[in-house]
Amino acid sequence: MSSSLAALNRWVDEVARLTRPASIHWCDGSEAEHAMLVERMLAGGDLLPLNPDTHPRCYLHRSHPSDVARVEHLTFVCTREREDAGPNNHWMAPAEAHAKIDGLFAGCMQGRTMYVIPYCMGPIDSPLSRCGVEITDSPYVVANMRIMTRMGAAAQARIEREGTFVKGLHSIGELDPERRFIMHFPEELTIKSYGSGYGGNALLGKKCHALRIASWQARQEGWLAEHMLIVGIENPEGQTHYLAAAFPSACGKTNLAMLIPPEGYRKDGWKVWTVGDDICWMQPGPDGRLWAINPEAGFFGVAPGTSAATNPNAMAMLDRDAIFTNVGLTADNRPWWEGLPGTPAKDWQGRDYDPANGPAAHPNARFTVSARQCPSWSPRAEDPQGVPISAIVFGGRRASLVPLVFQARDWTHGVLVGAAMGSETTAAATGAVGVLRRDSMAMKPFCGYNFADYFAHWLSFDRPGAKLPKIFHVNWFRKGADGKFLWPGFGDNLRVLEWMIRRVGGQAGAVETPIGYLPRPQDLNTDGLDLAPAALAELLSLDREGWCEEIESIGEYLESFGARMPAALKAEQSRIARALAG
């Protein structure tokens, strides 16, 4: 027995002694195992079968009504030094955190099966991939991890070869919101999650490993673990440029990852390839470029709002071999959510649908499906070396001030643009509308260490020989005086991506401004677009007075992270402030 397998066996024995399960099952990821688990969940009511004619091998899972989203206030980063976790994380001392959560784990799996899930984040043969093992008492977690990761025997073999893996321990416990914690121990490469069966809290390969723990690993090892989609844009000449893009929630990430080109572009031969919709791991290659993999093998997407109008590619992959969580049901047992045609018969809690009870699908209802089922899925998603990134795109939801698109002057400016990004709150999020919430690189809930150190890590990639991606910022959500969106969005966003790709190749014009390079109206392809020249001019305008206030606010935000904030980022903020004032 290899020493790494012995270490894994020892850990499994320790967990079994603590949690006292009735039996232990080592997952191999096989079809037979999956069929057995599905039968077990159907028998126990954890899954409900959907219409076999319209949705073969699709199932519905209903969460406990108190367990339907990530719980940021109960999510901790437990480093020895509080400063290493930073003001962007809730912190608890490791010894205290272990004692608190192990007290909850004691005996919690009595009468249950303990599942041991070896998994690989990323293509199984990729040097950019990293492995983990999740121990759980939830067969729903096993079924989802099988879709979302490379799970089973091949992952276990890689763990035995490499000897290092992230340890994740999870139990649904009693699903009591008062007895719920998600603890991360980056220095120990360990995650402990108790009391929730919901995706982001229970599928430990997802945000817990692929972002919080991986961001810590990435800083130590010289790479980046980011909350970004990866999309390939193929031009009529057959060249494909890969873009990585970070947006806060409700900014159309999945739609952009699966974008369908406008009709004129399709006729000209443009194609869009989906590599990933949520997480991107980037590492400098021997050629100085950043090469990226999607560590996930599936999509864990938000269902409401997904429709044939907003995302036909997503709809095309959801009619087979998918798990739906907290959606409504039609009378003939098909999944239903707001945005779809027809009417629901049952809501997400299994009650007869009554609009007085709220929406039929929970606003955070999800689908889990293999990435390979997406019509725009890129076969390059399985390339062990990853794909080369030409551009990094940041974005947010801003009703005013921020132009449709601008390009950062250089890498340092680009890091500041990413650090400063944010969204204005919508009515759905909070009572206060239009309040700006900064969410640097869309990583605020997910960075496993101090944001100031994280910005310094980003800056460190700008070194001799580096051929770094160009950095851009987009805002699809600018509104006119009438309160309506100025830009059509969706497929037409390709027009903006085309300008970026042409900028990368030195083929598109722009005007230099204090906030970066802005396209002139003639630099964007607007053929076939019903957009008034005045609207386009407004989308590309620079409001100096407004930006003076914005850059001052960015400076205050940087100061909030204290003494560790890199001087280079503060100097960049000051440079822009001076240029705007001048």
Render 435-502 in DSSP notation, one character per residue.
-EEE-GGG-TTT-SS-HHHHHHHHHTT--TT--PPEEEEE-TT-B-TTSSBSS--GGGHHHHHHHHHH
Query: Is residue 55 predicted with pLDDT exceeding 80?
Result: yes
70 marked as part of a ligand binding site: yes
CB 160 within 8 A of CB 118: no
User: Is 61 part of any domain?
Assistant: no
Q: Is 405 in the same domain as 429? A: yes
User: Catalytic amino acids?
Assistant: 251
pLDDT, residue 432, reads: 65
Structural domain contains residue 63: no
- Read off the tokens for 216: 């810590």
Same domain as 204, residue 262: no
Q: Which of 222, 252, 282 is the endpoint of a domain?
A: 222
What b-and-e string marks burial along 208-233, b requiring 16 or more CB atoms within 10 Å of the CB? bbbbbbbbbbbbeeebbbbbbbbbbb
Instruction: Give me the pLDDT at residue 251, please.
Output: 86
pLDDT per residue over 12-27, tens digit each? 999 999 999 999 999 9
Bridge pairing between strands 130-136 and 166-171: parallel
Residues 143 and 204 in one domain: yes
pLDDT at 274 over 70: yes
pLDDT of residue 71: 87
- Give the model's pLDDT for residue 4: 78
What rounded mean pLDDT belongs to the chain?
A: 96
Would residue 41 count as lying in a domain?
Answer: yes
> Which of 67-76, 358-367, 420-429, 522-531 bottoms out in mean pLDDT, i.e. has the lowest?
420-429
Strand partners, 511: 518
467 is in an annotated binding site: no
295-350 pLDDT, tens digit each: 999 999 999 999 999 999 999 999 999 999 999 999 999 999 999 999 999 999 99
Establish whether 506 is an annotated binding residue.
no
Say if residue 542's pLDDT is above 80.
yes
- Interval 339-384: pLDDT, tens: 999 999 999 999 999 999 999 999 999 999 999 999 999 999 999 9
For residue 78, the domain's CATH number is 3.40.449.10
Task: Compute the distance between CA of residue 343 and CA of residue 330 in angstroms, rounded to an integer.
Answer: 6
- The secondary structure of residue 147, as a DSSP letter, is H
Q: What is the pLDDT of residue 431?
A: 53
**54 domain-assigned:** no
The mean pLDDT value for 385-413 works out to: 97
Q: Are residues 436 and 533 part of one domain? A: yes
Q: What is the pTM of this model?
A: 0.97
Mean predicted confidence (pLDDT) in 503-518: 98
Both tokens assigned to 72:
């940021």
Q: Which amino acid is at 328?
A: G
Based on the fold, state whether residues 216 and 235 are members of the same structural domain.
Answer: no
pLDDT digits (tens, 9 = 90+) for 445-457: 999 999 999 999 9
Q: Are 277 and 248 contained in the same domain?
A: yes
Within-domain flag for 145? yes
CATH number for 253: 3.90.228.20
Q: Is position 364 annotated in a ligand binding site?
A: yes
- Identify whether 66 is part of a domain: no
517 is known to lie in a ligand binding site: no
The response to whether 437 counts as a known ligand-binding position is no
Same domain (yes/no): 293, 303: no
Residue 497: HSE in the Cβ half-sphere, 13 Å Cα cutoff: 31
Say if residue 493 carries a ligand binding annotation.
Answer: yes
Residue 429 has pLDDT above 50, yes or no: no
Cβ contacts of 104 within 8 Å, gap of 6 or more: 171, 173, 179, 181, 194, 195
pLDDT on residue 427: 52
Q: Would you place residue 132 in the very low, low, confident or very high pLDDT band (cuts 50, 70, 90)?
A: very high
Is 241 marked as binding a ligand? no
Question: Does the pLDDT at position 425 exceed 80?
Answer: no
Q: Any binding-site annotation on 249?
A: yes
Q: What is the pLDDT of residues 66-111, one digit of tens each?
A: 998 888 899 999 999 999 999 999 999 999 999 999 999 999 999 9
What range defines the domain where residue 467 resides?
Answer: 226-297+380-581
The answer to whether 283 and 118 have CB atoms below 8 angstroms apart is no
> Is 235 annotated in some ligand binding site?
no
Residue 95 lies inside a defined structural domain of this protein: yes
How confident is residue 480, by pLDDT bands cut at 50, 70 and 90? very high
Band of pLDDT at residue 492, cut at 50, 70 and 90? very high
Q: Does the annotation flag 397 for ligand binding?
A: yes
Same domain flag for 303 and 355 = yes
The Cα 476–Cα 438 span in angstroms is 17
Closest CA to 77 of 67, 62, 69, 88: 88
Both tokens of 508, joined, read 């598109």
Among residues 196, 222, 248, the one where a domain terminates is 222
Sign of CA dihedral 202, 66, 254, 51: positive
Residues 171 and 252 in one domain: no
Does 108 show up as a binding residue in the annotation? Answer: no
Helix (H) or strand (E) holding 314: helix 312-316
Residue 51 lies in a domain: no
Given this model, what pLDDT does residue 430 score? 43
**What distances in angstroms separate CA 489 from CA 113, 320, 383, one per listed residue?**
47, 29, 31
Residues 514 and 402 in one domain: yes
- Are 411 and 459 in a shared domain? yes
Residue 139 per-residue DSSP state: H
Which residues, other chains included, contact 276 with Cβ-Cβ below 8 Å and sequence gap of 6+? Answer: 228, 229, 230, 257, 294, 296, 371, 381
Q: What is the pLDDT of residue 428?
A: 47
The number of folded domains in the chain is: 3
Q: Does the annotation list 502 as a binding residue? A: no
Q: Which of 349, 371, 393 is the last residue of a domain?
A: 371
CATH number, position 358: 2.170.8.10
Q: 65 near 349, Cβ under 8 Å?
A: yes
Q: How many CA atoms lie within 13 Å of 8's alpha carbon, on the beta-carbon side?
A: 28
Do 323 and 432 lie in one domain? The reply is no
pLDDT above 90: residue 504:
yes
